[in-house]
Amino acid sequence: MRQIIIIGVAIILLSGCKNLSGKEGKDDSIADSIALPKNAVPIVYVDYIYIKGNVDSVQGNFLLDTGGDNLYIDSIFHNTNNFKYNNSYQTKIYGIGNAFQKITIIKDSVSFTFGNFIYRTSLVPVLKLKPVGGDYIDGLIGTRYFLQSVLEINYAKEYINIFKTIDSTDISDYQIVPMGKHGHNFYVPLIVKINDSTTITGNFHIDTGTPFSTFTSYVAKTYNLTDKIERKVRYYTKYGGVGGESSGYDFIADSVQISDYRLENVNMSYSADWSGVLASEGYSGILGSNILDRFDIIFDFRNSNLYLKPNKKFNEPYIFDRLGFSYVDRCKTMGGWIVASLTENSAAEKQGLRIDDKIISVNNTPVEEIPYETQEAFFKKTDQAKFVVIRADSLKTIEFGLAPLL
């Protein structure tokens, strides 16, 4: 399923109806038997990296986002927990999408803790994350905390670790990739062979907060990708990010090369946005988790170096979307999955599914009973899906077959 991104100064995420409070759907005995390294912080990784954290002693689920710079708090999480901050102001924030969102900035000092680590900061944005990211996202933590340290991300064993210097960790099996930096964003060069006629080399913004990798609309226009890529599907969404409406195309690139590592038949996208982050001329695109999670990764932010080592997922084939739509989890606050984007001419669209439909069951199973970690497997096990949705207070049943869109 294609995921949606949400960015505020570079915030990117999406969830399905996902239970972040536990590890249902995985073998708990196996997970518990894996000893984490000293001082490591457990994560939940399913498309996104989530850590348990506390904002001024109030616990929530926070997305680790190298596309963001600071701490960000969801407005519902903020309002329901009755935080007492005295100094704030209103402003606008731009991101993915063609518009902006009005937000509150907390000027007071805010404490954020996770594991054994403490982070105090101010100028913390409070914005609407749950309508785009789902009910289980309470905030984001960006790169500012890590700029004077080293961040290790182990996708396979599901932990992160923080070191004072690169000398504190073993990098003997890793390849080093120098990173460029602009503001709080870090970049690495990629070579993307789209097909036999088109290869693009450019700098890509490293973003652990988005599950896919994409070209900007500026690059797409410069290289005339709409004409040069024959096999593609168009997606569109009303909830592309804090900027609202967004659209683009999904396709399969022949290969993506980062340093000496080459991945084949990679799912990618290119944006059609006319403004916002994905219309930028400053970089070629976003390098997301669908490529990053095939490596063990170490960020040496102080020296602007990225260290990569292929993990067990490196040679797994990419699987293209079979659903033709994406959704966000509003099970807790709205009682279902809210359709957030659609793929044009997909079976989902042709059979009448619409953005803002609320899905309450799939194949006669209430969506609240489908745990976060099992959702992808749930759809892999069936070639036919029947959705019961609520639209304008009426129940509708929408049924269609599942097959790769490309």
CATH number at residue 337: 2.30.42.10
Domain end residue (candidates: 163, 192, 213): 163
Residue 12 has pLDDT above 70, yes or no: no
Same domain as 295, residue 182 = yes
Same domain as 203, residue 87 = no
Residue 23 has pLDDT above 70, yes or no: no
In a domain, 7, yes or no: no
Residue 8 has pLDDT above 80, yes or no: no
Q: How many residues does the chain have?
A: 406
What pLDDT, on the 0 to 100 scale, is given for residue 94? 56
What pLDDT, on the 0 to 100 scale, is given for residue 244? 62
Same domain as 99, residue 145 = yes
In a domain, 5, yes or no: no
Q: What is the pTM of this model?
A: 0.88
> How far apart are the C-alpha atoms of 190 and 155, rounded to whole Å?
21
What pLDDT, on the 0 to 100 scale, is given for residue 242? 52
Same domain as 177, residue 158 = no
Residue 141 has pLDDT above 70, yes or no: yes
What pLDDT, on the 0 to 100 scale, is given for residue 238? 82
In a domain, 254, yes or no: yes
Same domain as 202, residue 333 = no
What pLDDT, on the 0 to 100 scale, is given for residue 98? 55
> b/e map of 387-401 (b: 16 or more CB within 10 Å)?
bbbeeeeeeeebebe
> How far apart are the C-alpha atoms of 245 and 243, rounded to whole Å?
7
The answer to which of 69-73, 174-178, 292-296 has the lowest mean pLDDT is: 69-73
> How far apart are the C-alpha atoms of 201 and 289, rounded to whole Å?
19
205-214 pLDDT, tens digit each: 999 988 899 9
Q: Looking up tokens 């292929």, which residue turns up?
A: 310
Same domain as 39, residue 142 = yes
Same domain as 116, residue 73 = yes
What pLDDT, on the 0 to 100 scale, is given for residue 20? 36
Same domain as 124, residue 45 = yes
Same domain as 184, residue 306 = yes
Residue 128 has pLDDT above 90, yes or no: no
Residue 85 is part of which domain span? 28-163
What pLDDT, on the 0 to 100 scale, is given for residue 47? 84
Residue 317 has pLDDT above 50, yes or no: yes
CATH number at residue 300: 2.40.70.10
How many distinct structural domains can be found in the chain? 3
Domain end residue (candidates: 163, 196, 217): 163
What pLDDT, on the 0 to 100 scale, is given for residue 216? 96
Residue 46 has pLDDT above 70, yes or no: yes
Residue 241 has pLDDT above 60, yes or no: no
Which two structure tokens, joined as six digits, stand for 191? 């070579």
